[in-house]
Amino acid sequence: MTHAPLIGRTRARGVETLSLDAVDTRNALSAALVRELADALTDSAKDTDVRAVLLTHTGGTFCAGADLRDPPPLSASLERGDPHLPDAFVALLRQIVELPKPVLARVTGHVRAGGLGLLAACDITAASTPSTFAFTEVRIGVAPAVISLPLLPRTDPRALTRYYLTGERFDAPEAARIGLLTATGDDIDAVLAPVLDGLRRSAPQGLAETKRLLTARVLETFDRDAADLTALSARLFTSAPAREGMTAFLERRDPAWVL
């Protein structure tokens, strides 16, 4: 049975737009969506006509985080008892960071949990003023483990402490203040227009080597911490508290620990 694509693709003047298009699940990170996005990024990296990649979405949510009904596989971590195999989502985050072309995010809606990892992996991020953000992992009994790989090197640590621990929602201006966003505004396309113009005027070699300089410290974090954070994620997602948290989320009730 053939399924509709979960990633839309369009191109204009060297900018490849990849759109998360799983509106029914609020663009949650399912195994299929992660796989299709990785394939699309691979194609964009190989295509010499692509100067930059713009990651956006359909519907009112950029990404709701992990699809709790169909999460990306942990690359046999659990089946083989080897927690040091990188999972599919970690591989996707690293692919965005390592892509030899700038990757931009265009957000006009809500971003939760793993979706914030996607934003942090991108080089330039912009969101419309009404957009909202939240690290909701603690509320289902897990931790923002693997998304910390791009987030910790790029985002204000005191702000992350608050939002990681509380799961509070925060707005686009706050996301820009703490370094999660590059820019925000009411007209997101007007905000991005000069950025895209600048990229189109830049030489591919210059962009690739400059990006390599800018991402070196982020990739050091991946090299140092990816295995441990993957193991932590696997352990937490298979724990009893996480099962209660995810069940409560799917049943739209408070988990047992709420006071």
The pLDDT of residue 3 is 76
pTM of model > 0.75? yes
Residue 226 pLDDT > 60: yes
Residue 75 pLDDT > 50: no
Task: Tell me the residue ranges of DSSP E strands in the chain.
Answer: 7-12, 15-20, 52-57, 61-63, 103-107, 110-112, 124-128, 132-134, 170-171, 183-185
User: Average pLDDT, stretch 149-162?
Assistant: 98
Domain ranges of the chain: 7-188
- pLDDT tens-digit series, residues 35-74: 999 999 999 999 999 999 999 999 999 999 988 776 655 5
**Chain centroid, CA 72 distance in Å:** 13
CATH topology of domain 7-188: 2-enoyl-CoA Hydratase; Chain A, domain 1 (3.90.226)
